[in-house]
Amino acid sequence: MDDTNRGELQIYSVEEREDAAAICIVRCVGGIVRAGQKFHTETPGDTTRDSPSINLDWINRHERMMDFIDPPHSAKVHLSGQGVSALKRGVILYSIPAE
């Protein structure tokens, strides 16, 4: 399996939140995280994927828009989707493999 498609983000803080969108400060804690990926908050290996998906819309690092981040870097990100209501400090987001 190619781990470059898998990524994990840990929420450091939620800076702004709307109904289905949030701007957060995150740290990449695993794999490579790319703009456009979908994430969930369940534990890895959970095949049910019952939690709503969260989309990573953009990554801003050092006031520059980036395509990806890797460990141990931090960035400001825009997340959208129904799952953003569950975001808080310490939550880890796991990427959903592309099909």
Going residue by residue through the chain (99 aa), what tens digit of pLDDT does each one get? 454 568 999 999 999 999 899 999 999 999 999 999 999 986 455 545 567 899 999 999 999 999 999 999 999 999 999 999 999 999 999 999 877
> Which tokens sit at 55?
């989309």
Range of the domain at 53: 3-95
CA dihedral 88, 92, 93, 94 (to 10 degrees): -170
Number of domains in the chain: 1
N-terminal to C-terminal alpha carbon distance within the chain: 13
Q: Which CATH number is 26's domain given?
A: 2.40.30.10
So what's the pLDDT on residue 30?
96
> Which tokens sit at 61?
């690092």
CA dist 59 and 67 (Å) reads 7
